[in-house]
Each structure stands twice: as C-alpha cells, then as structure tokens.
Structure 1
Amino acid sequence: MIREDAIWADLIQDTPLMDLEPENVEELTRRVRAGQTEAMVQLGRYYHDSGTNAGRAVRLMERAADGRNDEAMDVLGDWAFGEREYSEAVAWYTRSAALGNVRAKVKLAQFFMGGQGIRKNRRRAKSLFTEAAQAGSVPAMERLALYYYRGDFGKEPDYKEASFWFHQLLSREAAVVAPYMAEIYATGGYGVEADRHLASTYYEMSAATGKAEDLYDFAQFLMTGTGREKEKAFRLLQQAAEKHYTPAMLALCDAYRFGDGTARDRLEFVRWAKAAALAGDETGLEYLHQAFYLYHDVDLRPYCNAAALAELKAAGNGPSLYVLGKLAYTEFGASQGLCEDDAFSYWFQAAKMGYGPAEMDLGFILSEKNPKAQAKQAFAYIRDAAEQGEVRAMYPLAVHVVC
C-alpha cells in the first residue's frame, strides 16, 4: 500500500537506466530516421538516463509525442514532474491519458486529488482511478481502497467500496491489506455490516506476519470477546510485549490487574509497568508509581458506553455513583459531558451513603485542593474508608499516623 510520505513514489517511472551498446544506438537511430516513435522513446530515454544529451532526449520524446505516442507523453510528464513543473506535467499526462495510457491516468488522478498544477477535482480523480483500476493498475486500486476508506472522495468513508478494492489487492498485498479489512468488519458502518468472524479472520491474517503492532491489534480485538478469546488475546500480548512494544506492555498490565485472559497478578503488573517505564513510556511510569492504587482500582472499561452510563445513573447507589465519578476523569466521560465537578458531586453522594471507595477518593481530592482548610474532613473520609476495608486508604492513613 502507498504511504503518505511516498504518495508519488510508485507512479513515476523507475525503469532501470538505459545502457545501450554503440551498435544498439545506431540501430535505434536508423529506426528513428524511419519515423518509428517507439525507437524515439527508447533512444530519448537512453540520452536522458545516461546524461549524454538531455536536449536531444527531450526533442526525441517530443517528436514521438507529436506522433501520438502515449508513452512518450507519459515520460515527458515524468520529466516535468521531476523538475517540479507541475502544470506542464499535467498537460502531458492529460494528453497521454486521453490516448488510454493507464499510468498517465493514475498520475493525472493524483494531481486532481492534490490540486498541484491543476484545480482539485476529486470526482474526476475517482473516475480516472476507477478506469485505471479496471484496466488492472495496482497503484490505482491502492488509491481507491485507501481514499474510500478514509472518506477522501466525499464527506465520509465508504467501507463498501473500500472493501471491494482492498479485496482485489488481497492476493498481492495480504499482510498490508488485512488490517484495513479487519477494522472495516470490526467496526462496521459506512455501507458495511460488522462481522466479528470476518474481522477475526483478517486480524489473524495480519498477525501472521509476527509484527508486534499486528499482534497487538489482534489482541485488542479479541479482548472485547469472552473466555478463550481473551486467553488467546493474552498470549498475543505476551508475544508483542516480548518484542518490546510498549502498548502491549501496558495492555499486559491491564490484563494482570483485571484478570483478562489470565489470573490477576500484582507482581506481573508491576513487572510490565516497569518494562514500559524503562522503555520511556510516560503511562508506564505512571502505572509504576501508582501500582498499588491502580491494581486495586475498578475496571472502567465495561462502563464506557452510553447504555452502561444510563444504567449507572438510574441505579443511583454508592457503587454506581462511585463509578460515575471515576468516568468523569476519562475521555469517554468527557465526551458525555462529565467533568471534575461531577466527580466530586457523585463521590460526595456516595460518601454520604457510606461507600468506602468514594470516601477515599473524596478525601484525596479535598487534601489536594485545599490541604489546610480541608485536612480534618479529608482525614475523616480516608479513615472511614480504611475502617471499611478499603486497602488503598490504609497506606496513606498509616503514613499520616507515623508522620
């Protein structure tokens, strides 16, 4: 697949330098005199690539172009592109594409997408890409797949069209295409129904490369399942983490602290947090510093959806209010309009009901916001939480007593 930093790399002709023997040059010269445009293109490329006569190279190519040789027009477009003469390149590609040159169609379409040397026209670009792809152009198929996937042809993605063109590329570029197909079927929408089985198939195809990123993506997908899927996800995370991939290390931390696909294990949680921290990951460092508290913290992932949020609000009991307060500090909570003041309010209500974890966090907030004015109240909340068996409140309470 194409990369953003190499959008033109596979389009401009990169035929090996023409290296002709003297007798071959003489033969081509004879054919040029006979008016054969193919010979003009070959000899022109030789003079250009060898650097022996750039002026003659251009004259030969232009003469071939005047003879309606579409390859010559395409090459002249490439040469103009190399000199950053984009308007001239567009002109040559336009003439070549009009004669049916597939390579020129793809390059002209790319110009219409980017607006270099020509006004942007993504509808025209899509049409040219499609014509070229239907003629078998792999670069055209790649661009159609990627641009439909990203929504570059319209206001939103078109997964139906993207999956069609990705599928055409699958036999050629399975390892690269599979992650896109996996995500399309994992999420669904934009013209495609979500299909967990197909998504799993493509994720597995991608993970077969053994790349840490692909192993991690497959694991994250399987972690949304249950039972054996989570166990498999855990094994994949181990493989990715052993390849020094820090997102996998952090995911292993979560697996060990929440018991996802494995038994809960505080020492393993700390080990992988330390590994991520030593790799320079800030979240790993935070996990390591807050290991005791995080390991005993509530798992918020099951609640990060609108339905669960509504159920929490409807329940209105201590545990539900406590989780609502925790969600206020997450990206999901922020997307639902929750803020830090909401957290305080929810925990205050839960604390009035005598819910230990809420009393503990409320005590921490009060001590951080106004340590002097709220010291007694903060201490009281933390003490009450500890007396109810909240282990995370016991350590700071002990430190407070000792000091």
Structure 2
Amino acid sequence: MSRLKTPLFVLAISLIAVFAWLLMNGTDYNDLNEDGLSRGNIAYQQGDFEEAAEWFMQAAKLGDREAQYQFAMLYRDGKGVERDDTQAVRWLKLAAAQKHARAQYELAKLFDSGRGMEQADPASAMRFFRLAAEQGHGSAQLHLAVLYAEGRGTPADDGLALKWAVAATRSKNREAEPYLQKLLKRVTTKAQQGDAKAQFVLAMMYRRGDGLNADIKSAEQWLRQSAESGNSEAQFHLASFLADNENSNQLEEAAKWYLAAARQGHIKAAAEFGAMAATGAGTAVDPKQALQWLQQAAKAGDAKAQTALGILYSETPGFTHDDKEAAAWLQKAATSGRADARNNLAVLYALGRGVDKNYKQAFTLLQQASESDDKAQFNLGLMFLRGVHTVQNDETAAAWFKRAEASGNSRARLALALLYHLGHGVIYSETDAIHWYQEAAGKGDLDALFNLAILYYKTNDFAKAFASFQQAASAGDAQACNIIASMYQHGQGAEYNIDQAVEWYRKAATQDYPQAQFNLGNLYRKGEGLEQIDKKAFYWYQKAAEAGYPQAQNSLAYMYALGRGVKADRKLAQKWFTAAAVQGLNIAEQNLLLLEQKQSGFTLVSHVVDMDVRADLLFEKPLNLAKHLDSYKQP
C-alpha cells in the first residue's frame, strides 16, 4: 500500500498542476473585460476561424456592429462555423440596423439572391443597397445603378442609374467607370433617336458635368429637344435655366416653358409661373392667373407657392387683401421651414392682422427665421431696439442690424447709420455714420440721404450738405426742397440765388409741405424775389395754417388783424393767434395780448427750416411697428 501511495500522490500533484495551468491560460470567451472584436480579428488573421468565431460572437452579442458583421460573414462563408445563410442574414440585419454600410451592402446582396430566406426580395435589396450607397459604399452605388438601369426591384430610371454610376466612379470603384460609359452610350443613343426622357437625362449630365465635360450649350440643346417633345421636367429645367440669366427676352421664354410644364401638372412650375404672373416678370401681371397657379401648387403642398399666396393676400398691391387667408397659407409654409414665410407671419402676429396680436409668437418666429433671413434679422434688431417683447438693448439691436446688413438687408444700413450718428448701442462715430448713410443712400434711401446732408450741414460742410440735399430734393423729398431753397436764399453751399429759392420753395409747397408754404408766403408778403402780393401771401399762409403749422397760424392771424390780402377780421385773427399759442408759440401769445390791447407791432417768423435727423426708428412715440417692420411685399 505504501508503494502505491507515492505514484498516486505524484499523479494527483501532476493533475492539479495541469488544471492550474489550464485555468491560468485557458480562453474565457465570456470575459466582458476582453476586447472580443480585436481578439477575433487577430485570430482571423492567424487563420484560426473557430477562435475568431467565438470572439466575434461575444462582441456581437454585446451589440458591437462590426463584430456582428464579421460574425455574419463567417456564417455566410462557413469559416469557423457551419455555413448558415439564415444566421448570416440574422446578424447582418442587426449590424445594418446600426448603419453599418458593409453589412447593409452584404444584406442587400442576400436579399437580391434569396440566400438565407424563402425567396429573393428585390425591393428589400434595393432599400439596403440605397442605404449603403448613401453612406458612400462604392459597390452598393454601382449595384444601385445596375438595378435602376435594369428596372429590378424598382422602375427603370436612366437618370438615377447614371447618378449612382457617377457616385460609384467618384468612390473609386474599379468597375464603375466602364459601366458609366456604357450607360452614357446607351442614353445618348436613345436621346438621338428622339427619346424625350433620355434627352432630359443627357442634358442634366452635361449641365452638372457628371461623367461628361460640363457643357452648358449642349445641356440647353438637349433640354430644348426634350421640352419640345413635351417632357415637363425638361420644360421646367429649361425655364429655370433661362430665368437665371435675367435677360428680358429669356424671361418671356422662361414664363412660356413654366406655363407649359404647369399645364402638365408640374407643381414647381406652377409655383414659378404663378409668381411671375403676380410680379409681371416675363409675362403681363395677371392676378387671376397668379392665384390660379399658385393655389394649385400650394394645395399640392409646395411651400414656395404657399408663401407667395400669403404675401399676395397680405402685402402685394393690386391683389385682394385677406389677412386671415394670408396667415393660413404662411402658417403652412412656416411649418415647412420657409424663413420668408416665418418672417411675414411674424409681422402679422406683431400687428394683429389676420391673427390675434401675439408678440411672443412673433418673436419666436423671427428667431427661427433669423438663421437665414435678413428681414427677420432686421426685425429682431428693431424688437431689441424698442423693447418689444424683450428687454430694450441697443447693443443687441446693433448686433442684429450688423448681421442683417451682412446678409444684404438695405434697411439695416440706415439703422446702423443712426446708431453711429447718435451713439446708441455703438461708440459714436461720424465716419461710420457717413459710411452707412452713403451705403443706404446709394440704394435709394431718401431718409439716409437727408440725414447725411444734415450731418454735413451741422459740421459746417455746406458744399457737401447742399449736394446731398439737392440730390434728395431732385428725388422729390419736399423737406429737402425747402432746405435747398433756404440755402439758395442765404448763400449756403451755393451762391445766393433768390429765383432758385422761389422755385424750390414752390416745389415743396405744391407737395403740401407746410414749412415751404409758409416760407413762400413770406416771400410774397415781403416782395422778396417776386412781386409783392398780399393775397398770394394770405393763400399760402392759410394752407400751412390749416395743416396745423403754428408759425403760419401766427402769420395768418397777422394778415386778418391788419387786413392784408383779406378783409380785416379781429375774431379770426384772435382764433389763429390762439391756435398758434396753444401749440406753444410764445410770440403768438404776445401777439394775442397786443390784439386784445388794440395795438399792432406784431412779431412774425420770417423763415423756417427743419434740420432734425430723421430717427423715428429710435424715438417715435408711440412706435408705429407697421411702418418699421420689414416684410416681403412680392413673392
């Protein structure tokens, strides 16, 4: 027994040692701390597919999409596991659901062939090929091109076939280039044989330079042929091509092709032609046609047409205004993300037009639109400048006006000029004020031109002031006409010329500008620069007085008191002196006392000009939002 104990003891020790070694060095495929994917890749590279399968399975079960893909491939190829297409499909679906492009591609091939399932499923194959192709998988892109070319799992479409063949070529797929050239040859042959769809496809290839050298002339040639054959897409794109050139003759032709496509039910063409009929671009303004085509496109869900309808119903002259209808269409377009619709809808909410007034909703819409819309950016600046539904903040307002101007908003230039001129929200800068006034004036803003002239005048640069005032006056600005007349009368910035003064006073007076009417009345009363005629002096004083101008009311009272140009009438004199005094004109109060004491020696004002900066945007009380908010007036 003692002899047996020793060998048994040695054997037991040996078994314990082997077991310990196995315990220390064995593979635990369920160790969550192990990187199953990496270990599987190493095993795969070493040709140990069984080991790789164990590691891939571990990582796949933990949701690793690459491991799911690799595990599926082992089942598909029968490496390390028994070949099983059903299992391959199962794991590929899991990886594909996690947007694994290669898994989507391989799954699509299995659907296409029917492996691992009861039968082939071309539609599902198409779907997964597209998912992989959209992620830039070159082979998937090429397969997609083939499916579109052959009409497998989808209706045949040469245009989409070429699109994906081009994409595959750009993805450096080696088989894509020869297939692309084969497709191009086939489409070109069909186009030359008069196939309108092929002509359109070829035109777009030339236009984009996809697989062909970009050639605008060839693109237009094929578009015309296709359009003339009745292809509505070609008609629409030809019209768009012509409209982009903005040549008046080409705009007329563009309108013709848009209408042709619209009559075939092309929604975007209907929207475009409707807008052209509304604005008179390329065709006569025709409200009936505009509404017909825009409504057709809008009802079909076209957001551009919905926006256009909203603008026509609420803002565009010549169209029946219906703010409620406008708000309904703008709401639809705003929901689709149209920034211009959001801006105009915000204006309706801010003014309570067609909807209940709601500053909060207006502010929210402007914030949404301000990502891309310059009018919305300007309007947000206005809201901050005047504290409409937000804390008044000149600095924030200035920032929005700067952003709006950078986006091309012309009204923001005047706003910035005012801020720099008056030192609101920015550091006062005469140089910056002049710059922005000039920028705004250059775009036809008369207020900017007038304020620029005021700035020059108050810094005694009369020559520049005169030039700017004259430019504004020549554009019909009555206040500038009055100032130009005054500068001629007093030799400021120009030589004294009373005849020119009379002419410019008369231009402003005939525009019902009270100050000019008053000044012209003074010239007639004094006989300065024209024949002294009290009746004409009385005529102009009366017009200005009835418009509420106190200096003219004072002078009209004087004429009644002394019977100049009119029969003397102390009661009417008292009435007009009182009217002027009520408005705060001190000399009218003094003249009223003289009248009551039956004395003369009345005091008159001999000349007036208004040199105040036009800054209603900053100081108008109450704020007239309707005047200042910027909205689209035409589609």
**TM-score normalised by the chain length of structure 2:** 0.35
What pairs up with 1:128-167 in 2 under 5 angstroms? 128-154=257-283, 157-167=285-295
Is structure 2 residue 477 aligned with structure 1 residue 337? Answer: yes
| Distance across 1 between alignment mates of 2:157 and 2:326 | 51
- The whole-number CA distance in structure 2 between the counterparts of 1:233 and 1:254 is 16
Structure with larger Rg: 2
The match for 1:196 is: 323
Tell me: CA distance 1:253–1:218, structure 2 relative to 1, closer, same or farther (3 Å): farther
- After superposition, the C-alpha distances for 1:189-248 in whole angstroms (9 at most, x for unaligned) are 44x32223323433444555788865553343456668x96x714343443577675513
Contact 1:130 1:140 in 2 (8 A): yes
CA offset at residue 153 of structure 1?
1.7
Structure 1 position 234 matched with structure 2 position 359? yes
Using structure 1 for the length normalisation, give the TM-score.
0.52
User: For residues 252 and 43 of structure 1, do their structure 2 counterparts lie closer, same or farther at Cα, with a shift above 3 Å needed?
Assistant: closer
Q: Does 1:275 align with 2:396?
A: yes
Q: Which residue of 2 aligns with 1:299?
A: none
**Tell me, what secondary structure is at the counterpart of 2:256?**
helix
Whole-angstrom distance in 2 between the partners of 1:212 and 1:84: 33
Distance 1:105 1:246, change over 3 A: closer
Give unpaired runs (5+ residues) of structure 2: 1-132, 135-139, 151-155, 170-176, 371-376, 403-411, 426-468, 487-514, 520-548, 555-579, 587-604, 606-635
| In structure 2, C-alpha distance between the alignment counterparts of 1:179 and 1:136, rounded to whole Å | 19
Matched-pair contact (CA < 8 Å) for 2:307–2:340:
no
Q: Closer, same or farther in 2 for the Cα pair 1:212/1:46, shift >3 Å?
A: closer
Residue 105, structure 1, aligned to residue 235, structure 2:
yes
Q: Which amino acid aligns with 2:359?
A: F
Counting only pairs closer than 5 Å after superposition, residues 28-177 of structure 1 correspond to structure 2 as 50-51=168-169, 52-53=177-178, 55-81=181-207, 82=209, 83-114=213-244, 120-154=249-283, 157-173=285-301, 175-177=303-305
The whole-number CA distance in structure 1 between the counterparts of 2:283 and 2:270 is 17
Q: Which residue of 1 aligns with 2:456?
A: none
RMSD (CA atoms): 5.0
* Cross-structure match for 1:370: none
Is residue 142 of structure 2 the alignment partner of residue 19 of structure 1? yes
Moved more, 335-344 or 38-47: 38-47
CA distance in 2, matches of 1:63, 1:220: 55
Contact 1:220 1:233 in 2 (8 A): no
Alignment-mate amino acid for residue 102 of structure 1: S
What is the alpha-carbon distance in structure 2 between the residues aligned to residue 72 and residue 162 of structure 1? 32
Deviation of 1:355 (Å): 7.1
How much identity, in percent, do the aligned residues show?
15
The one of 339, 344, 347 equivalent to 1:217 is 344
Structure 2 partner of 1:247: 379
Q: 1:216 to 1:126 in 2, by over 3 A?
A: closer
* 1:342–1:106 distance in 2 versus 1, CA, 3 Å: same
CA distance in 2, matches of 1:275, 1:106: 44
Q: Which residue of 2 aligns with 1:4?
A: none
Deviations 1:80-106 (A, max 9, x none): 223442222222222223333222222
CA contact (8 A) 2:314 2:322 kept: yes
Q: Secondary structure at the match of 1:170?
A: helix
Q: What is the deviation of 1:122?
A: 4.0
- Relative distance call for 1:163 and 1:55 in structure 2 (3 A) is same
* Contact 1:47 1:56 survives alignment (8 Å): no
Quote the offset at 1:184 in angstroms: 0.6
Q: 1:385-400, aligned counterparts within 5 Å? A: none
- Report the CA distance shift for 1:59/1:276 in structure 2 as closer, same or farther (over 3 A): same
For 2:240 and 2:367, locate their aligned partners in 1 and report how far apart those are by CA, in whole Å: 41
Taking the aligned partners of 1:127 and 1:171, their CA distance within structure 2 comes to 22
What SS does the corresponding residue of 1:75 show, helix, strand or coil?
helix
1:148 partner SS = helix
Cα distance in structure 1, aligned partners of 2:250 and 2:142: 40
- Count of matched residue pairs: 281
Change (3 A) 1:164 1:211: closer
Q: 1:289 to 1:185 in 2, by over 3 A?
A: same
C-alpha spacing 1:96/1:335, structure 2 compared with 1 (3 Å): same
Would the alpha carbon gap of residues 169 and 40 (structure 1) be closer, same or farther in structure 2, given more than 3 Å must change?
closer
Instruction: Give the deviation of 1:162 after TM superposition.
Output: 2.5
**How many Å apart are 1:129 and its aligned residue?**
1.9
Query: What CA distance in whole angstroms lies between the structure 2 residues aligned with 1:216 and 1:277?
Result: 19
Q: Measured at CA, do residues 207 and 354 of structure 1 come closer, stay the same or move farther in structure 2, by a change above 3 Å?
A: farther
Conservation of the 8 A alpha-carbon contact between 2:255 and 2:276: no
5+ long unaligned stretches in structure 1? 1-14, 29-37, 257-261, 263-267, 292-328, 360-376, 378-403
* Distance in 2, Cα, partners of 1:60 & 1:187: 51
Contact (CA 8 Å) 1:48, 1:57: kept in 2 or not?
no
